[in-house]
Each structure stands twice: as structure tokens, then as C-alpha cells.
């Protein structure tokens, strides 16, 4: 794809994110997306077969970017605790910078092909749990985490704590400041 084509596709995606996050999937039309992007309606269909494919493609691309960043942090030579902190940071940064996309996730169960997307989300979540559980296992081996709880359960708890701060659930501007809260409660608990 040439630079002009890439620019048009980027404008279509950006316009779609703006409109989907404000109006929702069902209320947004392809014509509105094209108008906001400054392209012909046919141009949207040149890049995407349907509004549903555009919506789904945006969400999948953003989740793949998130997963890539998490894996990148896990592969860095750091202590397991530093890796856990960086995973928390990556998620909160993703939410902070992607508030519009986070709003799109709210309605993904009604706007998308349930069989495909629900399967994709389940597999994505399972991969995330396994990645985090691997880091927790490494922390246990180094005796940095002393919990006898199952690594997968601990990973689910940590990811659940992180997702609590998703902008469509939690309306604060600076989510990054919550890294320390999550890290402290997860690693130290709430009682002495």
C-alpha cells in the first residue's frame, strides 16, 4: 500500500474509532465514517468489507499491540517483580491512551460475530493469564513471592485488579498513578 493509501486507511480507522466510541456501533454509519475521514464511502469498503469488519479489526489490532508490548516487557532482562510492575504499567498505559477504544470494547459482545470474537477474547485472555503466571512462577522460584496459591489464579487476580481501572469503568485521567496501588496490594496484600 502506498503512502496515500496508508494515510487514507489510517484516517478511516481514526474516524471510525471517534464515531464508534461516541455513538456506538449500531448508531454509526459508514457514510459518517467516510465523511469524518474525508474520503468517499467506497474508500471505506476498499479497505474493509463491512462496518463490522472495521470495528472488529480495530479491536483485534489494539489487543495484538497490547499483547506485543506485554511480551516485550516479559522478555526484557529484569527481575520478575520488575516485570510484573511493567505489565501493570503497559495495561494502564493502554487504557489511558486508548480510552476511545476501551469504550468500543463495552459493546463488542453485541456488535460482533459472537462465535468468532468471543473465542478470540477467551484465547487472548488465556494467553495473558499464562504470560503473567509464568512471571509469577519465576518470582516464586526466586522466593520473591511466597504465596502458595496457584500461579494461574494469581495471574487472573492481578489482571482483574488491572482491568478494574479500565477507563470505561473508572473515570480518572491519570491511570498510570495506579501502578503503585495495584503493585502494593497484589504483592503485599491488605493486612499485616
- Please give the chain's pLDDT, 192 residues, in tens: 555 657 999 999 999 999 998 998 889 999 999 999 999 999 999 999 999 899 988 989 999 999 999 999 999 999 999 999 999 999 988 888 888 887 787 666 555 666 667 788 889 999 999 999 999 999 999 999 888 999 999 999 999 988 877 665 556 667 778 888 888 888 888 665
In which residue ranges of the chain is CATH 1.10.10.60 found? 1-48
Superfamily of domain 1-48: Homeodomain-like (1.10.10.60)
Task: Find all residues with CB under 8 Å of 130, minimum gap 6, and list them.
Answer: 152, 155
The pTM (predicted TM-score) of the whole model is: 0.83
Which architecture, in CATH terms, is 51-188?
Orthogonal Bundle (1.10)
Name the segment(s) of the chain with CATH classification 1.10.357.10: 51-188
User: Which three cell numbers, joined as nine digits, stand for 78?
Assistant: 529484569
Amino acid at each position: 500500500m502506498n503512502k496515500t493509501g496508508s494515510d487514507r486507511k489510517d484516517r478511516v480507522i481514526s474516524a471510525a474509532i471517534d464515531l464508534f466510541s461516541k455513538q456506538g456501533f449500531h448508531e454509526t454509519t459508514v457514510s459518517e465514517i467516510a465523511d469524518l475521514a474525508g474520503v468517499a464511502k467506497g474508500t471505506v469498503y476498499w479497505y474493509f468489507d463491512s462496518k463490522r469488519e472495521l470495528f472488529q479489526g480495530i479491536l483485534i489490532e489494539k489487543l495484538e499491540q497490547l499483547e506485543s508490548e506485554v511480551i516485550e516487557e516479559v522478555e526484557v532482562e529484569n527481575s520478575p517483580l520488575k516485570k510484573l510492575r511493567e505489565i501493570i504499567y503497559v495495561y494502564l498505559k493502554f487504557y489511558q491512551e486508548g480510552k476511545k477504544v476501551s469504550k468500543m470494547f463495552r459493546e463488542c459482545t453485541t456488535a460482533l460475530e459472537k462465535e468468532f470474537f468471543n473465542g478470540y477474547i477467551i484465547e487472548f485472555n488465556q494467553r495473558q493469564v499464562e504470560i503473567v503466571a509464568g512471571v509469577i512462577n519465576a518470582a516464586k522460584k526466586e522466593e520473591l513471592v511466597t504465596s502458595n496459591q496457584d500461579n494461574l489464579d494469581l495471574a487472573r487476580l492481578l489482571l482483574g485488579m488491572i482491568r478494574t481501572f479500565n477507563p470505561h469503568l473508572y473515570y480518572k485521567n491519570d491511570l498510570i498513578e495506579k501502578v503503585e496501588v495495584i503493585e502494593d496490594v497484589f504483592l503485599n496484600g491488605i493486612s499485616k
